Amino acid sequence: MPRIQTTCPRCHQPIMAEVQQLFDTTSDPTAKQRFLSRSTNVARCQSCGYEGLLNLPIVYHDAEKELLLTFFPPEAGLSINEQEKQLGPLINQVVNALPVDKRKGYLFQPQTMLTFQTMIDRILEADGITKEMLEAQQKRVNLIQRLITNPNPEERKEIMRQEDELVDGSFFTILSTIIESAMMQGDEKSAQMLGAIQSELLQETKFGRELWAQNQEAQKAIKALQEASKEGLTREKLIEILGSITSDSALTTVVSMTRSGLDYQFFQSLTEMLEKSPEAEKKKLTDLRDKLLKITREYDLELKRRMEESEKLLNAILNDSDIENAVKKHLQEMDEFFTQAIRAEFDKANQAGDLARIEKIQKVTAIIEKESAPPPEIELIQKLMDAKDETEQTKILDENSAMVTDEFVQALNSIVSEGKSRSQSPEMMQSLESIYKLVLRYSMQKKLKE
């Protein structure tokens, strides 16, 4: 992505900014996310602190939705002819990048957006996201802000009860995203406070209580699966465990963990059991079979979709002239599906004897490993958790004594607190609390020796 030198609109000091005028989702699957997040074309001035969008002509293209949108900042004060001269080359790039058989009429009738926000609204509208939906989301964000800024727990609970209707799945998704963002930025205090608010919401709101009950039911089923696995999990036992789940959400969670076991033979066993059951049980088993077929079908389609997205992202990175920058830019989007895509593409290139592509894939892998390596403190905590007893843990602390600082102790305490607020498994919490006590004691002894 090119960088240009421009001047700060406020203090007129020279600044550098990343510029992108064409956002084509057909050739770059990540273009939409980059456009909607407003991560490009932003002027940031270190001298006066100004931050705002650059006044640049923009072209947005999505062939799948037949969208070709243009925006020209009115502040530029140019005539229609001058605007078309600047937008024309960008539109030509869109057309030329498409095969001839994919060039449809919409390409020759681009929609002009009068404001940048109108362009965003039009893109979201094509995704089925209406203004009403956006306004509803903003109300949820405002509620979170009200809860964050109110230090009184009783007053927060009253606000929760008054705004009970706003607290739904979308609300908890937004809150979880904010918590994760705070943790990634190292803002442990905010993450801890937000985690406490999340716990209050689970107790004080209707949806929160339902969510908590579903989570508990899922945990109960998972525990039953773990116990059954010790003796050898049979299809009959799996049917029994799945049949005991009343919540669709909990059932979906458990199905995602046992998908490999829900094969043709499983459904055959379920059908045979259904046919042999008394009439009173038949409806229950029929409903279970229908739900499982629906959930597994949706689950498989979602896996396919995510795999296709990962393949598109990998191809975009491999075709980028600056692979290292492309990998760093999209690290947050890389998950187990992206890893599978890398393995599949490597095998394909290996079979074809495509040495140049193999080299690129290996470069991508090396950059990911370097950028994704956990901080030394996290590695130390993991080593302590993997140790078989306290003697071995103390030995590990002796070997890494320089890392046992007040900051490390505080970070470990925050991890324990965060685990409690997120209702982590009792076994993990017991291990973390034991390690925290050991590290705290070790730190105090270390200070006494100094």
pLDDT higher than 90, residue 38: no
Residue 1 pLDDT class (50, 70, 90 cuts) = low
Q: Are residues 116 and 138 in the same domain?
A: no
Average pLDDT estimate for 184-213: 85
Exposed, middle or buried: residue 321 (CB in 10 Å: 0-12, 13-18, 19+)?
exposed
pLDDT higher than 80, residue 282: yes
Range of the domain at 230: 218-291
Q: Are residues 41 and 108 in the same domain?
A: yes
Q: Tell which wins on pLDDT, 161 or 373.
A: 161
The secondary structure of residue 41, as a DSSP letter, is S
pLDDT higher than 80, residue 188: no
H or E, element range at 18: strand 14-18
H or E, element range at 191: helix 188-204
The pLDDT value given to residue 344: 94
Average pLDDT estimate for 329-336: 82
Query: Is residue 209, in this structure, part of any structural domain at all?
Result: no
pLDDT tens string 95-145: 988 888 888 889 988 999 988 888 988 888 888 887 788 788 889 989 998
**Closest of 158, 164, 175, 145 to residue 422, by C-alpha:** 175
Euclidean distance between CA atoms 385 and 392, whole angstroms: 10
Residues 6+ apart with CB under 8 A from 281: none
Q: Are residues 19 and 80 in the same domain?
A: yes
**Phi then psi dihedrals of residue 403, to 5 deg:** -85, -15
Q: Are residues 40 and 100 in the same domain?
A: yes
Which of 372, 401, 418 delimits the end of a domain? 372
Residue 184 pLDDT class (50, 70, 90 cuts) = low
Query: Is residue 210, in this structure, part of any structural domain at all?
Result: no
Q: Are residues 84 and 30 in the same domain?
A: yes
Q: Are residues 19 and 96 in the same domain?
A: yes
Residues of the chain with pLDDT > 70: what percent?
96
The pLDDT value given to residue 374: 66
Query: Is residue 212, in this structure, part of any structural domain at all?
Result: no
- Which of 122-126, 260-264, 269-273, 413-417 is the least confident region? 413-417
**Strand runs labelled E in 285-359:** none
Total domain count, the chain? 5
Q: Tell which wins on pLDDT, 419 or 195.
A: 195
Q: Are residues 41 and 107 in the same domain?
A: yes
Residues of the chain with pLDDT > 90: what percent?
27
**Closest of 286, 353, 290, 367 to residue 323, by C-alpha:** 367
Return the structure tokens found at 226: 């773990």
Q: Are residues 93 and 200 in the same domain?
A: no
The pLDDT value given to residue 424: 63
48 and 13 Cβ atoms separated by less than 8 Å: yes
Query: Is residue 213, in this structure, part of any structural domain at all?
Result: no
Q: Are residues 87 and 9 in the same domain?
A: yes
Euclidean distance between CA atoms 442 and 438, whole angstroms: 6
pLDDT higher than 80, residue 186: no
Euclidean distance between CA atoms 130 and 122, whole angstroms: 9
Query: Is residue 299, in this structure, part of any structural domain at all?
Result: no
- Which of 35-49, 117-131, 246-260 is the least confident region? 35-49
Query: Is residue 80, in this structure, part of any structural domain at all?
Result: yes
Query: Is residue 176, in this structure, part of any structural domain at all?
Result: yes
Which of 324, 349, 372 delimits the end of a domain? 372
Q: Are residues 226 and 171 in the same domain?
A: no
pLDDT higher than 80, residue 61: yes
- Which of 59-63, 190-194, 381-385, 426-430 is the least confident region? 426-430
Phi-psi region of 16 (alpha: psi -120 to 50; beta: other; left: phi over 0): beta
* The total number of residues written for the chain in this structure: 450
Query: Is residue 36, in this structure, part of any structural domain at all?
Result: yes
Which of 372, 394, 419 delimits the end of a domain? 372
Residue 81 pLDDT class (50, 70, 90 cuts) = confident
Q: Are residues 315 and 331 in the same domain?
A: yes
Q: Are residues 68 and 87 in the same domain?
A: yes
